[in-house]
Structure formats: C-alpha cells, structure tokens
Amino acid sequence: MSTDDKRVREFAYQIWESEGKPEGQEARHWEMARKLAEAEALAPKKSTKATAAKSAAGKANGALDGNASETKPKVKAKAKPAAASKVIPPGEKAVEKKPRAAKKPPIT
C-alpha cells in the first residue's frame, strides 16, 4: 500500500467518523477522501526548518533595529461572512434580535 493510499484511507476514516459512522456511504467517503488527498499532494509544502529559521532571523533583525513591528506586518483576522451568522440548525426557530439602543451619557 502506497503512502497515497494510506492517506486516502485516513481521510475516508475521518470523514466517516465526522458524519457519525453511517452505513452505506463508503463510495462517497472514498471519493471525498481521494479528492482531499489529491489537493493535499498538489498544495505547496513549507519546510518546518525553513519556516523556523525565517522567524528566528526576523526576530533577531527586529531586536537589533529596536523596532520589531517593521519586520513583519500584522495581519487582521478575516471576518465571517454575514450569512454565516444567520445559519439556523434544523428544528430550531429563527429568533429576531432587536437592535440595541444607543447608551445615554450619564447625567452630571
């Protein structure tokens, strides 16, 4: 069994477990796993040693300059799409939220 076959098997098992171990879905799980393994094989790979060396060099340069923020810009986290907050699980009712009223300044 090749490494690729082992990876497909691992993916298929993870998919099967994540779906609650249903019966009769083997073909679909194997196809999904095969596609995941292909995508993983085509993705560019980063060496952990090279990544660690780059981060250590960046830290050292920042320490010498006295300004570490110039070596690496900060990246903001991506916001979830608005539709993601509106997903309602089956069997639950949609609850409309009332808009919050602006807070009044304290009376002095």
Q: Of 14, 2, 7, give the one whose Cα is nearest residue 34.
A: 7
In a domain, 30, yes or no: yes
Domain that holds residue 1: 1-47
Burial of 8 (0-12, 13-18, 19+ CB in 10 A): buried
Q: How far is residue 102's CA from residue 108's CA, in Å, rounded to a whole number?
A: 18
Q: What is the pTM assigned to this prediction?
A: 0.41
In a domain, 26, yes or no: yes
Q: How far is residue 42's CA from residue 36's CA, in Å, rounded to a whole number?
A: 10
Q: How far is residue 53's CA from residue 49's CA, in Å, rounded to a whole number?
A: 6
In a domain, 11, yes or no: yes
In a domain, 2, yes or no: yes
Question: Per-residue pLDDT tens for 19-58?
Answer: 999 999 999 999 999 999 999 888 877 765 555 555 555 5
Question: Per-residue pLDDT tens for 63-90?
Answer: 455 554 455 666 666 665 555 556 666 6
pLDDT of residue 27: 94
State how many domains the chain has. 1
Number of H helices, E strands in the chain: 3, 0
